[in-house]
Each structure stands twice: as C-alpha cells, then as structure tokens.
Structure 1
C-alpha cells in the first residue's frame, strides 16, 4: 500500500468517527413526532431522547478525554464505538418487543451518549497527534465536514429507515458503527508515546496552567462551539415540527428538506478547513463574520413564514456556522501539546454536547411562547457570542525558530494566540 493511500485510509477512518456520532441525534429528529404518537408521550418527553444522549456524553467526555491522554486515543475510540452500537441495539429491541419501551429507549440512548463521548473529541485529539500545520487544519476541516455530512445524511437515512418501521433508525446505529469500527481498527496506527503519561496530580497542574494562561480565549471558543450546536439542533427541531404540523410533510421529503441547510454547512466547513491553514488572523475573522451571518439570518427569519423563502434565509446561518466550527477546531486542537490534548478537546466536545442537549427543549418552550421572540432571542445570542469572540480572542504574528517551538504549540509555529 502506498503512503498516500494509507494516509487517505487513516483520514477516512478518522472522518467516519464524527459522522457516526452525528447520527446519534440527527437521525432521530424526523421520527420524534411519530414517536410521540406511537408511544403516547409528550413533545417534551420525545425531545428528552436527544437531551439524555447529549447530557450523558457531556458528562463522560472529560473523563474519556483524560483516559485518552493517559493511555491512547484508539484504546478509547474502539470500546466507545462498540458501546454506541449496543445502546442503539437496546433501544431498537425495546421499541420492537417491550410493552413499555420508553424507559428502555432512554437507557439505550444514555449508553449511546456514553459511547459518543469517546468519538469526535478524541478523533480531534487523534488528528492533532497524527497531523501537523496546514495538513492538521485541513483534516480537522474534514472532521467537521464529516460531522456536517452526518447531519445532512441522517435526516434522510432516518426517514428512509422509518418507512420500514418507526423505530428503524435505532436498528441502523449498529450497522453504521460496525463500518467505522472496522476502519478504525485496521487503518489507524498511533505513534508510540515518547514518555509515560504524567500522574493525575501533575496532569491536573498542567491543565490548570493551560487554562490560567489561555483560559479567557479558550472558554470563549468553547462558548462559541456550544452556541453553534445549540442553534443548529434548536432550529432543526423547530423546522421538523413545522414541516409536519403546518405543511403535512413527513417521511423522506421531510428528511430531504431538513438536509438542505446542513448541506450548505458541510460544504462551507470543508472549504473553510481547506483554506485556513495556520493563519490565526483569518480564523478569527471567519469566526466573527460567521456569527454575524448567523445573527442576520435569525433576525430576518421573523419576516418569512412561507417554507422556501424561510429555508433560503436559514441557509445563510448554516454558511456562517460552517465558517465558525473548523476555525474553532483548529484553534482548540493546537492550543496544547499531545499529553493534554485529549482533555482540552474533550472539554470542547462536552460543551458542544450541552449545546445540543439544550437546543430541542429550549426551542420547544420558545415555540410555545413566541415565534418572533424565538428568532430574535437566538439572533441576540449569536450577536453576543460573536462580540465576545471579537473582544476576547486576540491574535498576533510571532515568528520563532524551529528549536524554540514547543510541542504544546504545534499550531502556533508562526503565530501565537494571546489574551490581553
């Protein structure tokens, strides 16, 4: 096997991991209204199938991040994918054969959330370990594009599987997991660690040092990532409900419509990751501009109630999100060395999951309150976060010799990110 082909297979394996994670929530969004009818549950209870997955993942992610630093990325990813598949299988079995399946579906979803905790954040850390410089940014762009592709694909796949039986998406999880699992096991080869992992006390002290010196911009970046995921899943929840209740659109047609804004986000994520390289100034500009696009889109949506003009304006926010996320991925992944990268990227993944978890229930409450208020509040949030990024993320050029570069700042060989 040629080196180029081997590298391509590694990227394919890494890219499959966030795609699998994304299926965990997005594939269920089209079936939530049907789940309410079939199980006799409320809209809020249905939304909890998204929330329990995300909260479980958010809690477990930092723990698995530390374990990936302590041991290896692959030793966490493989069992995590396996648990993810088992959780989906349990939910499918419960829906098919149990008299009161809701509680068991929730248990299965919690197991899936635990498995998801060892997927995308660890894949980001693994990317930081295996690739450097511009290639690292490009692969992280692919990771985010894969995440976006999963969001595009999953409503369609979820709708198709639901044509067989409403709980079909639960049965689909183990199949998709198996593909990613095989790719990871056979094609991802980690570099041997040069030294033993530090004891937990020293490890924690190092993390405190990282957050002491770079905490302000780092937590701002975390908030930005959470906000992006919060708005994505909140709007998808609103759109899914609107398509079914106002337009009587369900099944594959609904999945295809839900996929439109996500397709633009995926394309933008891939393009952004390919173009940003190691240019931190460009990353910051794209983050701020992306949030301005999101704000303009959400604020304008109050004037559009017809479906296709609404979708067209919503696409603008998806493009903005596609600009923001790859830049955040590159900044956060490059902020620390390999010995603590797993925890830092996992904490980022954790707050992203919290954003996902908060989206459906909060938007459900906002929908009951006021459509106009919902969109204006969302626009206000993205504007505020965009301003925080403008004010708290500071970048400046700093050229240093190769010998002076530390492993903790591989992304910053020509640029150093500082806080004032």
Structure 2
C-alpha cells in the first residue's frame, strides 16, 4: 500500500504539547534582530549617501550586499544545522552578526573613507544572518508538533514584522546621535538574545546523519515528489519580500524628496505599512491553527491583494495615498507569510527540514536583495516595474489555485487525526 503524500498540517484534538512559552519568546527574538539588519538602515540611506557623496547604486549596495551573501550562505547553514545542530548554528551566526556591526560602525569612527569597510561589515552581517531566522524557523518545526505550529509561526512572523515596524523608528532615533550608531546597536541588542537562546532553548542531539550522497538523494527525492508546490512557495515568499523592501526603498525616496518631514517622522511613516503585516501575521497564525483549510485561501487572497496594489501605484503621486496602499499590501503579506512557513516546515522530515527551510529563506533573501535594486533602477518606468510585479503576483495566485488543494483530515495509525495538503500530481492515494 502506498503512503499518503502531502504536507502534514496542524490538526486539532491531539495530545502533543508545545515547549514552554519562554522558548518561543527566545526564538522569536532571532527574526526580530535579523530583520533590523536591513529595515533599520532604510530611513538613513539618504543621510549616508549625502555624508559620503554616494550614488543611489552605492547606497543601495548597503542593502544588497547584506542580502546576497545571506541568500548564498543560507543553504550551507541549513545543511550544517541538520548535521551538527540548529542551536550551535544560531549562536555562532548571532555572534557574526554582531561582529559585522562593530566593523561597520568602527570604520566610520577610525577611517576617513569608511565605505569599503562598511561594505565589508555588511557582508559579514549577511553571512551571520544566514544562520539566524531561517534556522530558528527549522528549529520551531522540530520542537513544535503540527497542531501548535500555526500559532508559533504566526508569532514568529509577527516578531519579524514587529522588527520591521520598529526598525525605521529606531534607525531614525539613533541617527539623531550619529548615523553610524545604527551599527553599534546590533551587538548591544544581540547580547541578551544570545543569553536567552543558550539558557532557555534545549535541542536534542542530532540523529545519525546519512552520507552526503544519500543526503543529496533525499533532497532530490523531496523535490521530485513535492517540487511543484515547493517551487511555488519559494516564488511566493521571494515575490512578497521583493515588493516589501522595494516599496520601502521607493517610499523612503519619496518622503525624502517630496516632503519636509524630519527623520523621525519619516521613520514613523515608513513603519505604518509594516504594522498591518505584523498584526495580520499574528491573526493569520491563530486562524490557521483553528482552521488549517484557510491556508490556500490566504495564499491566493494575500497575493491578489499585493497584485492589486501594484496595478494602482503607478497612478499615485501623493505620499499618504502610497502609504495607505502599502498598508493594504502588508495585509496581503501578513496572510501569505505565516501560511508559507507552515507549509515549508511541514513538507519534510526533521532530517531534511533545515536545508529545505534554508533554501526557502535563501530565495526570500534574494527577493529582499533584488527589491531595492529594481525599484532604484526603474523609477522612470513605473508601469514596467509595478505592472510587471502585479502581473507576476496574479500569475502566482493562479498557480496556487490550480496546484494546491484544500487540506483534508485523515486518520493516523495511532488514532490521531491529521491534515494533508495535496498537490494535484499527488492527489490520488489508496484509502488508509
């Protein structure tokens, strides 16, 4: 008899229990700190460019050269986390993240031309970021049973969103002292997170791992069986990150050139579109835990909301209307991102979860890297930029509607119920 294929999703009325709340609190600090790496820098990019007479491309590299190394290293971090343990990778990565901040900030104090050293520090921070939030997401998948993952990932995405909300404000406040204080803030904030992870998070010793050749075969097998919806999920995550950070870069430039707002006020306005993402992520995680069948609807609805915003933006020139539309796009991303987290972490077994979630996070980081670059390079072609993004969103929503089926409940051998999300090629199965 063939085994049921699909994605194991949370089901109700099971006996599994979640770890203590402090574990989730400690792990939620990891994506919060990680997201500060880019978002806190966005409102002060114009000030840095003016300070050192940088071009738009050179200032944009401060974002891109953080995100690209992170995207490239994440799969390696995931592979190592599968083999030596996720907690070790997270602690090492956080230390690197803080070290990169010290290098970037210190160069502004001790060098007359600090830009190359700032770039070096950002690259080191990006390498450190590779082992933070992506591995924390895999660790949550290890520690939390399926029926508790919805709420856990909703909180994780909310922490991620909260970091995005606070970071423009925090960055603007630190810039009142000096713009380079942003970089010194990283090691200061990372220290308590290191302590909390080391003290509160317990991880079982990794099981004996297969050989590299067998490991590669297992990964290929996963993508052969579930590659269609996994690829779709990767593209959805990258698309939402591409628009989010590209739109924030676009809005920061608009507020700098079309308004006379102070840095703090600009930070507050930049935070508003991210507030909706934070609030909706928390709500969506709880909704998925109660009704897992809403996942498909959230993916389609959230992506269509983002596509609709993209179609309207080329015709809007008022900053406050742009902020309102980006607030709506945040609602869409808040529906999609927790749903994707649950799908990705539930797609595979524990032995391969680190590498698969890391591949997903890698693609998301590449979307973050491409967003500011694309929005900075195509400001004179708004129809190409926004309608192209909107068209891609509607196409992804159509694929989600066709490739994914709503979960249905089946009975396990132990008598517990679970939910399976099928893709169309895997829909047929023998009755269990």
- TM norm structure 1: 0.94
Q: How does 1:238-317 map to 2 (within 5 A)?
A: 238-277=250-289, 279-317=291-329
Cα pair distance change 1:403/1:200, threshold 3 Å = farther
Q: Supply the distance in 2 between the matched residues of 1:404 and 1:43 (Cα, whole angstroms).
A: 60
Aligned equivalents of 2:192, 2:422: Cα separation in 1: 38
Q: 1:278 to 1:57 in 2, by over 3 A?
A: farther
Alpha-carbon deviations, 1:303-325, whole Å to 9, x = none?
33222222222211110010000
Question: What is the aligned counterpart of 1:393 among 385, 404, 407?
Answer: 404
Q: In the alignment, does 2:30 pair up with 1:25?
A: no
Q: How big is the shift at 1:404?
A: 9.4
Deviation of 1:147 after TM superposition, in Å, equals 0.6
Higher relative contact order (CA 8 A, sep 6+): 2
Shift of 1:183: 1.1
Superposition deviation, residue 413 in structure 1:
2.7
Match of 1:45 in 2: 58
CA distance in 2, matches of 1:328, 1:258: 25
| TM superposition shift of 1:110 | 0.5
- 1:65 to 1:278, Cα distance in 2 relative to 1, 3 A: farther
* Match of residue 11 from structure 1: 24
1:376 paired to 2:370:
no
Map 1:20-169 to 2 at 5 A: 20-169=33-182
Tell me which protein shows more helix as a share of its residues. 1
Unpaired runs of at least 5, structure 2: 1-16, 426-432
Whether the 8 Å contact between 2:18 and 2:144 is mirrored in structure 1 is no
Distance 1:372 1:212 in 2: 37
1:223 to 230, 235, 252: 235
Q: Deviations over 1:243-282 (max 9, x none)?
A: 0011122411111000001011100001101110275531
CA deviations over 1:308-364 (Å, ceiling 9, x no partner):
222222211110010000000000000011111000000000000000000011111
1:87–1:108 CA contact under 8 A, matched in 2: yes
Contact 2:168 2:270 in 1 (8 A): yes
Distance 1:303 1:398, change over 3 A: same
- In structure 2, the residue matched to 1:183 is 196
Aligned partners of 1:388 and 1:250: how far apart in 2? Answer: 43
- Local SS of the residue matching 2:422: strand
1:191-235 per-position Cα deviation (integer Å, ceiling 9, x unaligned): 234x31222111111111111000010011000000000000000
Normalization by structure 2: what TM-score?
Answer: 0.91
Superposition map of 1:324-343 within 5 A: 324-343=336-355
